[in-house]
Amino acid sequence: MTSAYDRDLDKNPANYRALTPITFLERAAATFPDHTAIVHGPMRTSYGEFWRRSLQLASALARRGIGRGDTVSVMLSNTPPMLEAHFGVPMVKAVLNTMNTRLDAAIIAFQLDYAEAKVFIVDREFSGVAAEALKLAKVKPLVVDYDDPVYPDDAPYPKGERIGAIDYEALVGEGDAGFAWSMPDDEWDAISLNYTSGTTGNPKGVVFHHRGAALMAYANTIHSGLRQHSVYLWTLPMFHCNGWCFPWTLAVTASTHVCLRWVRAKTMYEAIADEGVTTLCGAPIVMATLLNASDDEKREFSQTVTFNTAAAPPPEAVLAGMADAGFAVTHLYGLTETYGPAVVNEWHGEWDDLDRGARTAKKARQGVRYAALEALSVRDPETMAETPHDGETIGEVMFRGNIVMKGYLKNRQATDEAFAGGWFHSGDLGVMHPDGYIQLKDRSKDIIISGGENISSIEVEDALYKHHAVAACAVVAKPDEKWGETPVAYVEFKPGKHATEAEIIEHCRTLLARFKCPKQVIFAEIPKTSTGKIQKFKLREMAKEA
Amino acid sequence: MTSAYDRDLDKNPANYRALTPITFLERAAATFPDHTAIVHGPMRTSYGEFWRRSLQLASALARRGIGRGDTVSVMLSNTPPMLEAHFGVPMVKAVLNTMNTRLDAAIIAFQLDYAEAKVFIVDREFSGVAAEALKLAKVKPLVVDYDDPVYPDDAPYPKGERIGAIDYEALVGEGDAGFAWSMPDDEWDAISLNYTSGTTGNPKGVVFHHRGAALMAYANTIHSGLRQHSVYLWTLPMFHCNGWCFPWTLAVTASTHVCLRWVRAKTMYEAIADEGVTTLCGAPIVMATLLNASDDEKREFSQTVTFNTAAAPPPEAVLAGMADAGFAVTHLYGLTETYGPAVVNEWHGEWDDLDRGARTAKKARQGVRYAALEALSVRDPETMAETPHDGETIGEVMFRGNIVMKGYLKNRQATDEAFAGGWFHSGDLGVMHPDGYIQLKDRSKDIIISGGENISSIEVEDALYKHHAVAACAVVAKPDEKWGETPVAYVEFKPGKHATEAEIIEHCRTLLARFKCPKQVIFAEIPKTSTGKIQKFKLREMAKEA
């Protein structure tokens, strides 16, 4: 039924514009043209320059025929061209595909082909593997070399050597800073493509849209407490779900990007002390790097630095150490499919007064939905019924909202499965607490089913971490004729510490039901990804043989 | 042309939700149910209770048949039901029409009829005029009495007397706190109706949509620096373009609303000191009220309070006084058609080092677009050409973006005129400075055209304010046979100060070109609206006779 409010009140160019993060950079550059947008080693780029260079990149791409729906793949470190690509590529309605820089040639080739890449921008550090990949790939993109002045001259791929048709600076130089950039035709149009898994089999190329990127920029600003001219340190790779959308986010407050090619304690402390860093995002391993820095790597600083971390909740000792070192840690959770963090452990002031154990328990929870996420739920994936809010019943964590991906590129089946029943199925298992906070219990593939009982590998790992000798650990399922599966623990010791398998198992029994305790404990180095994530699939393979 | 990104990546309930501010309150209530949402005199309402009462209101309205596109008109002070209406009404897809509480019966009747009001909620303070209006109106809405416990028992409309069919608390009591509220069918759907002019002639009922209200909530949060659990003092009437959208905004950060029925120095200072107010919005007159408070009205407080002011830029003396008193003043600008503030004087740190005159000149500018406004421009309304960015060429200030209204209700002609050429025409005249900041020169109807030359009344008023005896002033056009129009100044003196007409004119000549100086100075009380805005149309009438 229509009312008077449905008549003669239509959309027009004055009252409806496509949401896009590009307008945030336009605004920052117009308002604060001289403010520093990017710090990279000794280089400083103002907001005016950042905007003009993004326009030049867009203009140069347009002249070479790049336009709506074309993929521009990049293999770049956290450097200025990566930031310019986040704006210049969507300015011509093209799609930015940021590649994991640790991939091998075969996977890169696969991803280039799958994305139908028209342009491929490569940092010299990755030229070797990129050149190999290009030999394997069917597509023949325009290859652009980026020779970062901060990258050492000698190795591994020598300075001056080229694999591409043109140098990045020359490409930008072709462009016109007065270029008339394009708003997206529709805010639902794709802005970026991020692969969640390497290759073949069931390729999952997550597609983001302009609408979600813009809303994420607002939500990140609010949840991270960014203000006018905050200073953000890049430790999270921007190739990892577009650096949780922070390349776009910082434009809202005209904040400064401090780039880092490599995550090293000394350079991080230098940036914090010398550039006045206020905010960073990083994996738990970055916290460890900061805390375990030697005295000559550390620097004094007076500001409190907001540290957003995701993945595993930080142990209490780490949190305490970080607080002492001047960092305020916020615990976030999300997936590539949710544009990065979509859940935040909103802290209640009164929780500061809890005793240590209770406080840790609160901090260990992933939390509540981001302001830009419309719903967060834990459900039975079969019946789609909500699990009781009892903090105990395990279900699948599901998302619904404007910061959920468009879907997987050219993979209707995976898309349909992911969105079955009108919710995005995360594949993560968790519980809903009575106060509405969720807590992860496992990835669905990481859960251990022993004698018909579900064992959360996270719960067992939590128990292991309470042993004084354990530095790192991971628990996976080992196939078992009698029980179906049994838990196996992999453990790394702290320097100078040691324990026996029996001692570790006995320790677990003081904390866990007997069936949850590891049947076997293996002392070995645990395989991790370049971003510090433990590779459980490798451990599962190892456990089969163990 | 379509690409792979256009296939099988459609909207579905998991990845697309209508933007609406209702989800912000839902989130705040779920996350911080016990945190105080509303303070009203001795009453305190938690976020959980605020949410439940809004649901009950929605449920009660739904039971009485109120639904999509129905208008719920309210005549309320800044009280809890006004906040509940901002959520409860849109929860049933109805449209909230907040009426100026200072209107007369004839205008109220006109507005009720024009809005086709189905419900009319009235605070006891306004029962008299509302009862009269209902006699004049053609519509027969359900009339609901709100008897505010904070409103004195005795006057002017006695406690217990009713004009409606039901009391507000009884209506809420009819509702179910478990009500299944409705997301809007489309984020473009109307959420509120605000009249910009009183009556008849050319009625302008500005219609807001859910999308704009949600985006405004993000932008207000960022530009006002609201954080988790900020405390906001209500001096701006919520009936004034939905209180610049702050009833919705505060839910993003679970901040606290401190209501005030009347803007008085003593109660404001009490709220600031006792409730820890961090933020308020108000007309310049509210600053004057705070600064001119007597010692027994003032209270000490330790926090810095953000004071957002709009309309005329505050004089330097007021800014200095406010800074000394613990307030940080931000200068905003907007119109009802832009959801309230859509322009912000983004401050550059280095401007603090300018001398006083130069600093005042920077502060006097309205500024740059809000993050949620996509474009702000000064144009020739005839040719639509942008004026040069020279700080001198006067044009009409124009807006384009997602926080521009849907249009005027049932007034296609006014809507089309307002959106001519794809921009919203504000009717305000201004200049664009070389650095992209706009500065208002006048309302188009307030400009004085003398001998073919445009005289900005604001410029003349600025000169008058620099005279030591001038407390308030306003300059309007007086018809003149020879010149067409001439400027006439109305002046109020500061207590104990005095000057002659000749002295005032001579003072202006030291600062302005001769043709801009007032030809006549009249010492009299200047008519103002209830919100402290000078009523130039009255002065123009007075000037004709002068």
What is A447-545's CATH superfamily?
Answer: ANL, C-terminal domain (3.30.300.30)
What is the tens place of the pLDDT at every residue in A169-193? 999 999 999 999 999 999 999 999 9
- The residue among B99, B119, B121 whose CA lies nearest residue B110 is B99
The pLDDT assigned to B65 comes to 97
Q: What is the mean pLDDT of residues A408-415?
A: 95
Of A252, A411, A423, the CB nearest to B371: A252
Of A5, A371, A407, the CB nearest to B69: A5
Tokens matching residue A515: 């069936």
Max CA separation in chain A (angstroms) = 77
Tokens matching residue B432: 């664009």
The pLDDT assigned to B341 comes to 96
Q: What is the mean pLDDT of residues B420-427?
A: 95
What is the tens place of the pLDDT at every residue in B307-348? 999 866 677 777 888 888 999 999 999 999 999 999 999 999
* Chain B CB within 8 Å of residue A404 CB: yes
Q: What is the mean pLDDT of residues B388-396?
A: 94
Residues of chain B numbered 340-399 and touching chain A (CB < 8 Å): 346, 348-349, 368-369, 371, 374-375, 399
* Chain B CB within 8 Å of residue A6 CB: yes
The pLDDT assigned to A201 comes to 58
Question: What is the arrangement of strands in the sheet containing B117-123, beginning at the earlier edge strand?
Answer: B166-167, B142-146, B117-123, B71-75, B95-98, B190-195, B205-209, B407-408
* Chain B CB within 8 Å of residue A405 CB: yes
Alpha-carbon gap: A424 to the closest alpha carbon of chain B (Å): 6
Of B4, B400, B404, the CB nearest to A116: B4
Interface residue of A2, A5, A47 to substitute, partner B, most B CBs within 10 Å: A5
Of B14, B19, B407, the CB nearest to A424: B14
The pLDDT assigned to A111 comes to 94
Query: Residue B60 is inside which H or E element, if any?
Result: helix B47-63
Q: How confident is the model at residue A155 (pLDDT cuts 50, 70, 90)?
A: low
Inspect the interface and report whether the beta carbons of A228 and B6 lie closer than 8 Å: no
Residue A464 · residue A483 · CB < 8 Å = no
Closest-approach residue (CA) in chain A for B95: A5
Length of chain B: 546
Cα B301 from Cα B323, distance rounded (Å): 13
Rounded alpha-carbon distances, angstroms, from residue B85 to A117, B82, B102, B472: 52, 5, 19, 37
Residue A397 · residue A378 · CB < 8 Å = yes
What is the tens place of the pLDDT at every residue in B490-501? 999 988 889 999
Inspect the interface and report whether the beta carbons of B9 and A423 lie closer than 8 Å: no
Interface residue of B1, B7, B9 to substitute, partner A, most A CBs within 10 Å: B9
* Chain A CB within 8 Å of residue B12 CB: yes
What is the tens place of the pLDDT at every residue in A258-303? 999 888 999 999 999 999 999 999 887 788 889 889 999 999 999 9
> Which residues of chain A does B32 touch, with a Cβ-Cβ cutoff of 8 Å?
346, 348
The pLDDT assigned to A277 comes to 98
Instruction: Decide if A29-209 and A263-444 have a common fold.
Output: yes
Q: How confident is the model at residue B41 (pLDDT cuts 50, 70, 90)?
A: very high
pTM: 0.89
Least confident of A393-402, A481-490, B258-267, B451-460: B451-460
What is the tens place of the pLDDT at every residue in A210-267? 999 999 999 999 999 999 999 999 999 999 999 999 999 999 999 999 999 888 999 9
The tokens 């809004």 sit on which residue? B54
The pLDDT assigned to A534 comes to 81
Cα A271 from Cα A242, distance rounded (Å): 22
CATH architecture of structural domain B263-443: 3-Layer(aba) Sandwich (3.40)
Q: What share of chain A is helix, strand, coil (3-state, %, to 5)?
A: 35, 25, 40
pLDDT score of B1 more than 80: no
* Chain B CB within 8 Å of residue A16 CB: yes
> Which residues of chain B does A306 touch, with a Cβ-Cβ cutoff of 8 Å?
none
Give the Cα-Cα-Cα angle A400, A458, A291 (nearest 5 degrees).
100
What is the tens place of the pLDDT at every residue in B197-255? 654 556 789 999 999 999 999 999 999 999 999 999 999 999 999 999 999 999 999 99
Tokens matching residue B403: 């926080």
Inspect the interface and report whether the beta carbons of B6 and A69 lie closer than 8 Å: yes
Closest-approach residue (CA) in chain B for A417: B14
pLDDT score of B173 more than 90: yes
Rg of chain A taking only CA atoms, in angstroms: 24
Q: How confident is the model at residue A126 (pLDDT cuts 50, 70, 90)?
A: very high
Residue B328 · residue B304 · CB < 8 Å = yes
Residue A188 one-letter amino acid? W
* Chain B CB within 8 Å of residue A409 CB: yes
| Proportion of chain A above pLDDT 70, given as a percent | 97
CATH topology of domain A29-209: Rossmann fold (3.40.50)
Residue B339 · residue B403 · CB < 8 Å = yes
Ordered DSSP codes for A148-189: -TTS-SSSSSPTT---SSEEHHHHHHHS-TT------SSTTS
* Chain B CB within 8 Å of residue A116 CB: yes
- The residue among A244, A247, A216 whose CA lies nearest residue A19 is A216
Q: How confident is the model at residue B378 (pLDDT cuts 50, 70, 90)?
A: very high
Rg of chain B taking only CA atoms, in angstroms: 24
pLDDT score of A331 more than 60: yes
The pLDDT assigned to A530 comes to 64
> Which residues of chain A does B400 touch, with a Cβ-Cβ cutoff of 8 Å?
13-15, 17
The pLDDT assigned to B228 comes to 97
Pairing of strands A395-400, B205-209: unpaired
User: Is the C-alpha dihedral spanning A292, A296, A300, A301 positive or negative?
Assistant: negative
Q: What was the ipTM of the complex prediction?
A: 0.88
The pLDDT assigned to A451 comes to 75
Residue predicted with more confidence, A530 or A61? A61
Residue A185 · residue A17 · CB < 8 Å = no
Q: What is the mean pLDDT of residues A94-121?
A: 94
Of A5, A24, A218, the CB nearest to B207: A5
Interface residue of A8, A15, A95, A410 to substitute, partner B, most B CBs within 10 Å: A15
> Which residues of chain B does A12 touch, with a Cβ-Cβ cutoff of 8 Å?
419, 422
* Chain A CB within 8 Å of residue B424 CB: yes
Q: How confident is the model at residue A31 (pLDDT cuts 50, 70, 90)?
A: very high
What is the tens place of the pLDDT at every residue in B440-457? 887 767 788 887 777 888
Instruction: Cite the beta strand spans of B147-240 per DSSP E.
Output: 166-167, 190-195, 205-209, 231-234
The pLDDT assigned to B160 comes to 72
Length of chain A: 546
Q: What is the mean pLDDT of residues A512-517?
A: 86
Residue predicted with more confidence, A532 or A205? A205
Tell me B422's DSSP state.
G
Domain locations in chain B? 45-209, 263-443, 447-545
pLDDT score of A56 more than 90: yes
Give the CATH class of A263-444: alpha beta
Q: How confident is the model at residue A531 (pLDDT cuts 50, 70, 90)?
A: low
H helix intervals, B476-528: 501-509
Kindly provide the b/e burial profile for residues B212-232, where b requires at least 16 CB atoms within 10 angstroms of the residue's own CB. bbbbbbbbbbbbbebebbbbb
Q: How confident is the model at residue A202 (pLDDT cuts 50, 70, 90)?
A: low
Residue B405 · residue B206 · CB < 8 Å = yes
Of B9, B221, B369, the CB nearest to A407: B9
The pLDDT assigned to A265 comes to 93
What is the tens place of the pLDDT at every residue in B405-418? 999 999 999 999 99
Of A6, A12, A227, the CB nearest to B69: A6
Alpha-carbon gap: B5 to the closest alpha carbon of chain A (Å): 6
Alpha-carbon gap: A265 to the closest alpha carbon of chain B (Å): 31
> Which residues of chain A does B438 touch, with a Cβ-Cβ cutoff of 8 Å?
none
Pairing of strands B424-432, B438-443: antiparallel
Query: Who contacts B284 (Cβ-Cβ below 8 Å, separation ≥6)?
Result: B309, B311, B312, B314, B318, B532
Inspect the interface and report whether the beta carbons of A222 and B252 lie closer than 8 Å: yes
What is the tens place of the pLDDT at every residue in A58-97? 999 999 999 999 999 999 999 999 999 999 999 999 999 9
Tell me B534's DSSP state.
B
Q: How confident is the model at residue B534 (pLDDT cuts 50, 70, 90)?
A: confident
Secondary structure tally for chain A: helices H, strands E: 17, 26
The pLDDT assigned to A64 comes to 97
Query: Residue B251 is inside which H or E element, if any?
Result: none
Judged by DSSP in three states, A371 sits in coil
The pLDDT assigned to B311 comes to 67
How many residue contacts between A and B have a Cβ separation below 8 Å? 172
pLDDT, chain B, mean:
92
Residue B297 · residue B269 · CB < 8 Å = yes
Of B23, B95, B436, the CB nearest to A31: B436
pLDDT score of A199 more than 60: no
Q: How many CB atoms lie within 10 A of CB B350?
A: 8
Residue predicted with more confidence, B356 or A529? B356
Interface residue of A9, A72, A304 to substitute, partner B, most B CBs within 10 Å: A9
| Proportion of chain B above pLDDT 90, given as a percent | 72
CA atoms within 13 A on the CB side of B422: 7
Residues of chain A numbered 220-279 and touching chain B (CB < 8 Å): 221-222, 225, 227-229, 252-253
Residue A26 one-letter amino acid? E
Q: What is the mean pLDDT of residues A371-397?
A: 95
Closest-approach residue (CA) in chain B for A33: B435
Pick the CATH number of B45-209 from 3.40.50.150, 3.40.50.12780, 3.40.50.1970, 3.30.420.40: 3.40.50.12780
Inspect the interface and report whether the beta carbons of A16 and B402 lie closer than 8 Å: yes
Residue predicted with more confidence, B80 or A546? B80
